Each structure stands twice: as structure tokens, then as C-alpha cells.
Structure 1
């Protein structure tokens, strides 16, 4: 430890000395104008040096060192002398405990479901604005949601993959027959043809393996199940949170009596301790808790919210939505108040309805705020851990690891099983997934963000 402290002091002094030498030589050899610029830059970096040192010690160094250790077998037995194993930690994350058996029909309809869902999502991301018919837009949105939900619950309902795949095929055939193709650019068909070619190539090479990963492999690999549960949670909680936050912001932006009080009420859950919130909701979801009491009073039977694995992710999503909706509502409210009122006054003169003002003024000018909220909400949802840990008293769900998320997996590997190399590898897989989702969101939103001029 003493050597590390000496090393840090040495590097800090080396940086300061280097900056001073650069300043001294630049004064001698540079022209006066360039010298002033260099002098100002060096002065600025000297002021920022303490922050760089703190960030380097507590942020950047752990990031790079954990990535380095993800290629080592670094556990309790080898803590002092990690063993280099290359990509073995990453391979073990996705390794199945047992081979998964699947019939040809299951593999075919699962693959067809993935293929059709991908087509609708491609249209949803790249070509929704080019579609002029509102019904076709709604069909694309609904079919994308149907495909995603079917993939997430593919083993819960028998023949769900068959029915959903056939519905998607029929709807897409109907769309193509209604001059849907005339509204699309050639690029979309190039993407579709490329996707078809890849699908045929992968299937001929044994794509049922991919289908097994999406449907059955989550029961044979704990990390794949963590990815599945985390993705399910993100897709369930993020859209609902953003929708509720936008609706609350629109209400709070109106001339409402006591709106300052309501702003405070909606924001309080965000600043409240996650432990306190989870304990309160644990009592609400209990067998004899408030929610079951209300259900029995209106004629329904009690629901085992905390004991049935199918309710694990939804219960955690409810807590997260309740906690975060006020925070995002305040951000939306700030964005709404930055929109110039002149746009709405001009729209009223032209006879626009409230919905038209919302569609053509509010949504486009609120797009920078919406983009920020989506990115932040999605990243925050991928890091869900506290609610599960408190709600289920330190366990990843009631049974069968139904609440195992990626951050919980990292925690379990690092602190419980003392397999720090595996935990580091899992953390960087999570980083890669978040980075991928963020890049896709940035690319899809690039042409849809409108800044007020």
C-alpha cells in the first residue's frame, strides 16, 4: 500500500514538472500569441489537475484495472497471484449447463418470430415518418410490441410463438398489398434482403442454437437469464415511466391550483431512500399487505406478489416506476416551459386543436428533452439492483433466480462467490450492452430531434 502511495505522488509530481517544463520552453521558442494560448491552456490544466488525480485514482484506474482482471482467474484462492486465462471468463458466462433439446417446428417458428419482429422494428426505427397512413403506423407499432412481448414470454404460453409469428406474417402481407412498399425507400428493402440472406445462412449453419439462447438457454445459464430478466425489466419499466412522466408534466404545466404542492409530492419518492421505499412496497405486496387487502375488498382473491416468479420483474418495475416518474416529470416540465408560447398562439389563430398542438408543436420541440430522458432512463434501468435486494431480503427473487439481473449477477460473483475475474467480465458485458442500446438510440433519434431556433 505504501508503494502505491509513493507511485501516485511520483506521477503527480511528474505531471506538474512536465507542465512547468512545457511552459518554460514554450515561452522561449513560441511566438507571443501562441505562447499566450499555451500559457492559458497550461494554467487551466494545472487548476484541473486535482480533479484529474481524484478521477484517475477512484474512477479511471478501477475501470481499466477491472477490464485487465477480466482476463484472469482472480478468485479467493488466487487473489494474490491471478492466473491469466484469456477470454475464458467471457466464454463461461454464456456456457450452458446442459444441452437444450428443441424440435424443428419450435426452431422454425421461433426463428420466423424473430425475423418478423426484426422487420417491424426496422420499419419502426427508420421509416415510421415516411408512412403517410395513420393505420399503417399504428399497425407497425402494435406488431413490434407484440413481437417483443412474444419473445420475452415465449415459454409461458403454449403455441404463442406459432400464433404470434403467423399474425406478424399475415399483417405484413396485408401491409405490402396496401401499397405499403411504395412509401419505403430502397434502403429498407436492401436491409430486409440482407437480413433474409443472413437468416438463411445462419439457419443453414444451425441457427436453432440462437433460438435456444433466446427461449430455453436462460434456464441453463445464470448469466443469460440475468440478461433476459434485465432486458425484460428495461422494456417493461422504461416506456411506462416515460409515458407517465410526460403525462404528469403536461398536467403540471397547466394552470392548476396547488401545482407547486403536486410537484413536490411527485418528486419526493426520488429523493427518498431506496431501502425505505422497498420496505414499504414489501409490506404493500405482502400476502396480508395493503394491495391484497384492496383486492379482497373488491371481490378478487389474494395474489402471491412476492412468492410467484412470474410477478418478480413486474413488482420490481412497479417500484421503479413509482420512484422515478416524478424525477423525469420535472425534467419534462423544464423542457415544456422552455417552449416559446408564440408557437401555441399562432396555432390557436390557425384553429389547431389541443391534440394537433401537442403533435406538431410540443412533441417536436420537446424531442431533445425526450431523447435525454430515454437515454438516462434506459441506462438507469439496466443497473437495477437495490429494489430486488431489499424486496426479496438479499435473494434474487422468490425462487428459480426469477429476479436475477446483470448487476445482481456481478454482485453475487464478486461479494458472495469471490470470483472477481468473472464479475469483471460480466460488468464489461453489461457495459457493452448499454453502449449498444445507447448507440442505436442515438442513430434512430438523430433525424427526429428538433432544436428550437
Structure 2
């Protein structure tokens, strides 16, 4: 005899999957299949010119990374960029959010004004900062006006990457500021009132109440910041004209992947690099998660 309960559960499951099918199809076509295809490409030598062909090479593309000097330069630049930009933008976002959470005059105006760089096109921001850093740009004009020597900011390998860092800190911190600002609204005023009764000053309230209460948000901001910095491409591409110069100073991992894929037409090796970058980002995220869990437990 058929089980009526089992039939009902089967119908409910089929109805649920029917409702989810559009999302499953979209994610499958535009997320899962590209990932699988990239893994497939990373194990092959691909010829895209003329007759498309695939030659299985196993782990040759991954072994090739060890002897690729430009890969290590790109990794060093990207790691250096992330180590400086992520803490700076996180700290600046937290400070701005704490200030704009106070009862200030024209508070809403400053919130909108600080957020404007985030909604500005990345390409436009790069062009503005290139004009500022140019030999005849605003920065050298101001230096010359006060009697200081001018500098070739875009042509010096020692400072070119720092120019991109400053631009990104200025343009991304407001986005995380809004996230922190929303989280600050949820901290109960009673915690601060109790701390005041106990004699806590402003710094103690910030360090002992605000920062711990914002820990989940800080974890999110750090993870998104690291993912964003490791995916740096457009700013570096426009600054260097796609070369990663001067002298590979602005060469990043994603720009290197682009060069191998679309300039050298070495799609197999580029896919292997992309897969390696994804693994690095996942490992860093897992380490952050473990650190934050340990801090929470303590």
C-alpha cells in the first residue's frame, strides 16, 4: 500500500525545486559551469587561434608557476597592497562611522558627501588621480607653489603602487563606513549609559563596548576588503596602460592573469593562476574566520 505521507513530501519537494529551478539554472550556467570549465582549462594547453584544441597536460600549468618570476612579483605586489590597504580602509571606515554617528550639525550632509567617492566610476577616479599625480598635475603644482621639488609620481616604481593604494583607501572606506554606521545604530545606548555610571571615558567606551560589539561586522569588512584587494585590476590596468609598470611595480595577480589570457592567449596557464588565486583567497578567509572565532571564545 502506498504511503500517503511519502507522496505528500515528494510533491512538496518537487514544488520547492520547481520554484528554485530558475535560480538553480542561472547559478549553474553562470557560476558553476564557468568554475568547472576553468578547472578543465587549467589542466590543458589551449589553442584558441584558428581551430580550437585542447591538449591535456595534467599539472604542468601549476608546476610552471614555480619558475615564473612575474607571478612572484604580482603576488608580492598584491600582498603588499592588501596588507596596507585593508587595515587602513577598515580603520578609516570605523573612525568615520563613529564620528558620523554622533549628534553633529549637518550630519546627513557629511554622510552623503563622504559616500560620494564610492558611487563614482572606478575608471573616472583613476583618471582624476592620474591627473593629480601627473608631472604637470595638481600635486606637483602645489609642491611647486610652496617651493618644494616636484616628482615623477607615476614613473617611479617605488611610489607608483602607493598612489593606487591612496586612491583605493579614499574611495572604498566610505562603503565600509556605511556598513559600520548601520551596525552602530544597533548597539544599545544602555551599554554606554552603564559605562558612564562606572566612570568610563570616551576612549574606554569605544574600545571596550563599540569595538567588541562590531566584531562580526569587522570580520565581514576585512573579508570583503581582502577579496577586493586581491581582485585589483582596473586601477592597475589604467594606471600602467595594461603593462603593470613601471618596472612591474603595479603588476597585480588579476592583471597578470589578464595578460596571459588575452595578450599571450595562454588560457590554460591563466586559468591555473586564477584557480590558485581563488585558493589563496579562501585560505586567508578561513584563517580570518578561525582568528575571529578564537577571539570570540576568549
Same fold (TM over 0.5): yes
Secondary structure of 1:280's counterpart equals helix
CA shift digits 1:45-101 (9 cap, x unpaired): 1111011111111111011111011010113358622111111111112215xxxxx
Secondary structure of 1:307's counterpart equals coil
The answer to whether 1:54 aligns with 2:26 is: yes
C-alpha displacement at 1:35, in angstroms? Answer: 4.2
Equivalent of 1:323, from 171, 174, 182? Answer: 171
Scaled by the length of structure 2, the TM-score of the pair is 0.95
Asked which structure has the greater CA Rg, the reply is: 1
Q: 1:391 to 1:30 in 2, by over 3 A?
A: farther
2:75 aligned partner: 227
Scaled by the length of structure 1, the TM-score of the pair is 0.63
Q: 1:57 to 1:79 in 2, by over 3 A?
A: farther
C-alpha displacement at 1:38, in angstroms? Answer: 3.6
Greater RCO structure (CA 8 Å; 6+ sep): 2
Q: 1:384 to 1:303 in 2, by over 3 A?
A: same
Q: 1:345 to 1:38 in 2, by over 3 A?
A: farther
The answer to whether 1:360 aligns with 2:200 is: no
2:92 aligned partner: 244
Equivalent of 2:224, from 376, 379, 390? Answer: 376
Equivalent of 2:12, from 17, 36, 40? Answer: 40
C-alpha displacement at 1:43, in angstroms? Answer: 1.3
Q: 1:429 to 1:447 in 2, by over 3 A?
A: same
Gaps of 5+ in 1: 1-27, 97-220
Matches within 5 A, 1:77-116: 77=49, 80-95=52-67
1:275 aligned partner: 123
C-alpha displacement at 1:394, in angstroms? Answer: 2.6
Aligned pair count reads: 297
Gaps of 5+ in 2: none
Runs of 4+ in 1 over 6 A off after TM superposition: none
Q: 1:63 to 1:78 in 2, by over 3 A?
A: farther
Query: Conserved in 1, the CA contact under 8 Å of 2:233 and 2:252?
Result: yes
Query: Matched residues in 1 for 2:45 and 2:280: separation?
Result: 23
Query: Conserved in 1, the CA contact under 8 Å of 2:74 and 2:251?
Result: yes
C-alpha displacement at 1:432, in angstroms? Answer: 1.0
Equivalent of 2:47, from 75, 83, 86? Answer: 75
C-alpha displacement at 1:449, in angstroms? Answer: 4.0
The answer to whether 1:299 aligns with 2:271 is: no
Query: Conserved in 2, the CA contact under 8 Å of 1:72 and 1:82?
Result: yes
